[in-house]
Amino acid sequence: MQYILTEEEYVALKTLGDKRMERISEKLQEVCTFAAENVPWGEDKETWGCHLTDKTVFCDECPVQQACPCEHKAWDCGF
């Protein structure tokens, strides 16, 4: 089935989709930050923290780095 949309209808649908993705990304960030700060990880069972809340400096070994939607991760350059 195909639909023919006016430009205005297309823009309205695209804007709605963009807003939904933004809300999903915000919620995912909340969950990832919560997990990084509150769930014990690794052998020592300590929490990692999140650089977005200044609880740690680097994302290198963060247990949720793959799922985290943050576009400005902090990496340890070894200096």
Domain boundary assignment for the chain: 1-79
* Count of beta carbons in the 10 Å neighbourhood of residue 69: 13
CA distances from 47 to 40, 43, 52 (A): 4, 11, 15
For residue 64, pLDDT beyond 70: yes
78 pLDDT above the threshold of 70: no
Give pLDDT tens digits for 6-63: 999 999 999 999 999 999 999 999 999 999 989 898 888 888 888 888 776 688 888 8
Residue 21 neighbours by CB distance under 10 Å: 11
Q: How many CA atoms lie within 13 A of 28 on its CB side?
A: 14
User: Is 51:57 a contact under the CB 8 Å cutoff?
Assistant: yes
Q: What is the pLDDT of residue 15?
A: 96
